[in-house]
Copies of this chain bind each other. A is one copy, B any other.
Amino acid sequence: MTKRILVVGARGLIGSEAASALEAAGHEVIRASRSSGEHVDLTAPASIEALFERIGDVDAVVSTTGVVAFKPFTELTLDDFRDGVGDKALGQIALVTLGAAHVRDGGSFTLTSGVLSAEPIETGTAASVANGALDSFAIAAAVGLPRGIRINTVSPSVIAEATGYHSSFPGFPQTPVAEAARAVVRSVDGVETGQIFSV
Contacts and interface: CB of A to CB of B under 8 A. Distances in A.
Given A132-B132, A135-B132, A116 B93 contact: no
Interface string A90-101: 100110011010
Nearest to A123: B144
A1 interface: no
A128 interface: yes
Contacts of A90: 78, 81-82, 85
Q: Give the contact-size bracket for chain A.
A: 35 or more
A9 interface: no
Contact of A132 (B76, B125, B136, B194): B136
A153 to B, nearest CB: 11
Nearest to A120: B140
A51 to B, nearest CB: 15
Given A45-B78, A118-B139, A120-B140, A89 B133 contact: yes
Given A81-B93, A125-B137, A128-B136, 11 more contacts: A82-B86, A85-B90, A116-B136, A117-B132, A117-B136, A120-B142, A128-B137, A129-B137, A132-B132, A132-B137, A133-B136
27 contacts: A73-B145, A76-B97, A78-B93, A81-B90, A81-B97, A85-B85, A85-B90, A85-B133, A89-B129, A116-B140, A117-B132, A117-B136, A117-B139, A120-B142, A120-B143, A120-B194, A122-B143, A124-B140, A125-B137, A125-B141, A128-B136, A128-B137, A128-B140, A129-B137, A130-B133, A132-B133, A132-B135
Interface of A: 45, 72-74, 76-78, 81-82, 85-86, 89-90, 93-94, 97-98, 100, 116-120, 122, 124-125, 128-137, 139-146, 194
